[in-house]
Chains A and B, each alone.
Chain A
Amino acid sequence: MSNYVEMWKELGMDLETHDALCQVLPTAFGDMYLSQENRPEGMGFWDFVVSEIHGIRPSELIEAQKNGQKVFGTFCVYVPDEVVLAANGIVTGLCGGSQFWVPGGEKVLPKSTCPLIKASVGARLERTCPFFRIADMYVGETTCDGKKKAWEILGQDVPMHIMDMPQMKRPQDIEKWADEIKIFAKVVEDFTGNAITPEKLSEGIHVINERRKALKRVYDARKSKNIPISGKDALLMMQIAFFDDPVRCAEMANKLADELEQRNKDNVSVFPAGTKRILVTGTPMAIPNWKLHHLIETSGAAVVCEETCTGTRYFENLVDETKTTLEEQYAAIADRYMGINCACFTPNSGRVDDILRLAKEYDVDGVIDVNLKFCCLYDTEGYTVEKAMKDAGIPVLGIETDYTDEDAEQLRTRIEAFVEMLG
């Protein structure tokens, strides 16, 4: 990483501890990523972002702040980026994906909290991530119990706005979500000092839709019989999409998609013919959580799709761009977001339908349903998912894991056995 020490110092970071993180990341990335063969050239951009992960984007954000823009840190794919964009704000995803931050989180949270929440709280309180330092306001949501209580702790350290997520998807719930979006818009307007107009919101909606389309193009290319990109590489693009500039992200994803579409024409595959195709479903994999993908892709299989928040849930469905009044636009935004199926809703049968559909579209040999340890929602829903897959004759393996490496070899045995089972 280039020299960003001054910037980190100004952000009030714990430099000594942060150095330790900066030292392990390149090795992990080299082992897991750079060792892959025949990677698409279009991965160069995403590799570069990782190599400068705590430098390049943070310095852009700080520059924007100097020009009067506000940065909003978010933790969930239900928080509508378009509203922030409409007020000339910037969104950056803040989910922690490394064990490095977990002990810091455990100082204030129960051990039986999911690693994503522990890492996110740890990254803030231990002052070891620039993004957590830069964000002017955090936006939380009431998706799960762990997060709800964590917001109360984070809220003591940083300005927070919490969006009240419905737990069901009845018409009155979707209406309520449109209301929540309106309330959020007011908060964003007040915080940025910029009024949200229908024109501005329309622009915001368009920018985010374009990013969705670009990311989806990369995913669509993964449906091909050859496998033009590894699951690990696609995951990396998704992880970076959460904090990169949305316009540049779309441009780079489109560039990657161009290359993958060409690879499909030329029948180029990054895995040998006959490699088993896996659909990963379940909990999000925040950067740098590459554990499961790496295990799968070094056990004789390839990940061809992710039904996760760091996968299809992030870009599926578009917001209707034809609306012209704020009222209609907020309703259209609410509709789009309530079309995503997270385990925090009940009932959530739409998610099972999604998985069955994706399994078919991506022509998968098996499904690996993964939940982060102590994620009660996805763990419990795992029963329904597994049952639905078995009923449909799709082999499925349920896995629970966290950010540590201590279970890696046991997981490898199970994944290898699963791949052997696929024949």
Chain B
Amino acid sequence: MNYIGIDIGSTCAKLAVLNEQKETVLKLVQPTGWSSVDTAEEIRKKLQDENIDPEREACVATGYGRIAVPYADKMITEITCHAKGAVWLHDCDNVVVIDIGGQDTKVIRIENGMVKDFVMNDKCSAGTGRFLEVMANSLALRPDEMCDLAASGGGTSISSMCTVFAESEVISLIGRGEKKENIAFAVVDSIATKVASQAGRFNVGKEEVCLTGGLCECDYIRRTLEEKLHSRVVSSPEGRFAGAYGAALSAMRVRK
């Protein structure tokens, strides 16, 4: 039996398949596009190409598009799945997980491997991947390029929390002739400040923090968060798949 985890986020869909020994059989990431239903169908085809029949294997769907996966045996929220995935990836039972997603940012406190408490941003997109993406666009950079560039910048800040207003701020900084790296610095600083204030409710301090989600691949974001939170922030090269792994691990408890 294989265990399939599908995490359909607002920006990217992630797939992870584990075997009985919890070894990764298959993983992939693709843009969600405009239709979660189509994305789920594409994932089904990719699974079939690898001779994995989602109807016969245990499958759990998570993420905001979790309802769009007709062949999933169960739906579980991304909060539970990210927690499970992060515990597994980092082999650590007591930890705070920060997941910076496309449209929401989650801070999850885990005690003894179980979700103990969590906060999510409300309607606003400040401090999310989408915020970063919009700002990168206005600088004509890819998000990862902007993050790398931010490391060599400084001295500037943006104050707007609203993505639309912040974009105007970035545009006026460009107009003023501010260096790109300084603007990139300001954008990353804004996100990290917002995320840190969200995590502030949990008094993160002594605990280790795991960063998951698409932005965990950027080391500069991880370091900036470390500074703001005054605690050690770790990430895994597979942090982007934390939700999908969590879903696959949950699939192990599905009875077929």
Chain A residues with CB under 8 Å of chain B are: 390, 395, 400, 406-407, 409-410, 413-414, 416-417, 420-421, 423
Quick check: which of B118-126, B133-141, B230-238 contacts chain A, the rest being far away? B118-126
B80 touches A413 (CB 8 A): no
Query: What separation, in Å, do the CA atoms of A380 and B77 have in the docked complex?
Result: 28
CB distance from A366 to the nearest CB of B (A): 11
- Shortest Cβ distance from B115 into A: residue: A421
B167 interface residue, CB < 8 Å from A?
no
B79 touches A420 (CB 8 A): yes
B80 touches A420 (CB 8 A): yes
A413 touches B79 (CB 8 A): yes
Identify 20 residue pairs between A and B in the complex whose beta-carbon atoms are under 8 Å apart, listed by A's number.
Answer: A400-B122, A407-B122, A407-B123, A410-B104, A410-B120, A410-B122, A410-B123, A413-B77, A413-B79, A413-B120, A414-B118, A414-B120, A416-B77, A417-B77, A417-B79, A417-B118, A420-B115, A421-B115, A421-B116, A423-B114
CB distance from A388 to the nearest CB of B (A): 14
Chain B residues with CB under 8 Å of chain A are: 64, 76-80, 104, 114-118, 120, 122-123
Which residues on the B side are within 8 Å of A413 (C-beta)?
64, 77-79, 120
- Shortest Cβ distance from B75 into A: residue: A416
Query: What separation, in Å, do the CA atoms of A410 and B63 have in the docked complex?
Result: 11
Q: Report how many A-B pairs have Cβ atoms within 8 Å.
A: 38
Counting from the closest, the 10 A-B pairs by CB-CB distance are A417-B79, A417-B77, A420-B80, A421-B115, A416-B77, A413-B77, A407-B123, A414-B120, A417-B80, A420-B77
A417 touches B115 (CB 8 A): yes
CB distance from A382 to the nearest CB of B (A): 11
- Shortest Cβ distance from A383 into B: residue: B201
Which residues on the A side are within 8 Å of B116 (C-beta)?
421
Which residues on the A side are within 8 Å of B79 (C-beta)?
413-414, 417, 420-421
The answer to whether A409 and B64 touch (CB under 8 A), given A416-B77, A417-B77, is: yes
Which one of B80, B104, B123 contacts A421 once the chains associate, using CB atoms below 8 Å? B80
CB distance from B10 to the nearest CB of A (A): 11
Which residues on the B side are within 8 Å of A423 (C-beta)?
114
Given contacts A410-B104, A410-B123, A417-B77, 17 further A-B contacts (CB under 8 A): A406-B123, A407-B123, A409-B64, A410-B120, A410-B122, A413-B64, A413-B78, A414-B79, A416-B77, A417-B118, A420-B76, A420-B77, A420-B79, A421-B79, A421-B114, A421-B118, A423-B114
CB distance from B178 to the nearest CB of A (A): 33
CB distance from A421 to the nearest CB of B (A): 5
Query: What separation, in Å, do the CA atoms of A184 and B122 have in the docked complex?
Result: 42
- Shortest Cβ distance from A414 into B: residue: B120
Query: What separation, in Å, do the CA atoms of A414 and B117 have in the docked complex?
Result: 11
CB distance from B124 to the nearest CB of A (A): 11
Query: What separation, in Å, do the CA atoms of A417 and B64 have in the docked complex?
Result: 12
Query: What separation, in Å, do the CA atoms of A416 and B75 have in the docked complex?
Result: 10
- Shortest Cβ distance from A416 into B: residue: B77
Which residues on the B side are within 8 Å of A421 (C-beta)?
79-80, 114-116, 118
Query: What separation, in Å, do the CA atoms of A414 and B120 have in the docked complex?
Result: 8
Which residues on the B side are within 8 Å of A409 (C-beta)?
64
Which residues on the A side are within 8 Å of B115 (C-beta)?
417, 420-421
Query: What separation, in Å, do the CA atoms of A417 and B76 have in the docked complex?
Result: 8
Query: What separation, in Å, do the CA atoms of A413 and B77 have in the docked complex?
Result: 6
CB distance from A378 to the nearest CB of B (A): 16
Query: What separation, in Å, do the CA atoms of A400 and B114 have in the docked complex?
Result: 25
Query: What separation, in Å, do the CA atoms of A420 and B76 have in the docked complex?
Result: 8
- Shortest Cβ distance from B116 into A: residue: A421
Which residues on the B side are within 8 Å of A407 (C-beta)?
122-123
- Shortest Cβ distance from B67 into A: residue: A409
Query: What separation, in Å, do the CA atoms of A3 and B114 have in the docked complex?
Result: 57
CB distance from B228 to the nearest CB of A (A): 22
Which residues on the A side are within 8 Å of B64 (C-beta)?
409, 413
Which residues on the B side are within 8 Å of A417 (C-beta)?
77-80, 115, 118
Which residues on the A side are within 8 Å of B76 (C-beta)?
420
Max count, chain A CB within 10 A of own CB: residue among B77, B78, B120, B122: B77
Query: What separation, in Å, do the CA atoms of A3 and B122 have in the docked complex?
Result: 43
Which residues on the B side are within 8 Å of A414 (C-beta)?
79, 118, 120
Query: What separation, in Å, do the CA atoms of A270 and B84 have in the docked complex?
Result: 32
Query: What separation, in Å, do the CA atoms of A416 and B116 have in the docked complex?
Result: 14
CB distance from A318 to the nearest CB of B (A): 38
CB distance from A3 to the nearest CB of B (A): 41
- Shortest Cβ distance from B77 into A: residue: A417
Which residues on the B side are within 8 Å of A410 (C-beta)?
104, 120, 122-123
CB distance from A28 to the nearest CB of B (A): 21
Which residues on the B side are within 8 Å of A390 (C-beta)?
117
CB distance from B255 to the nearest CB of A (A): 17
Query: What separation, in Å, do the CA atoms of A420 and B123 have in the docked complex?
Result: 22
CB distance from A420 to the nearest CB of B (A): 5
- Shortest Cβ distance from A422 into B: residue: B115
Query: What separation, in Å, do the CA atoms of A410 and B115 have in the docked complex?
Result: 18
Which residues on the A side are within 8 Å of B114 (C-beta)?
421, 423
CB distance from B106 to the nearest CB of A (A): 9
CB distance from B118 to the nearest CB of A (A): 6
CB distance from A391 to the nearest CB of B (A): 13
- Shortest Cβ distance from A413 into B: residue: B77
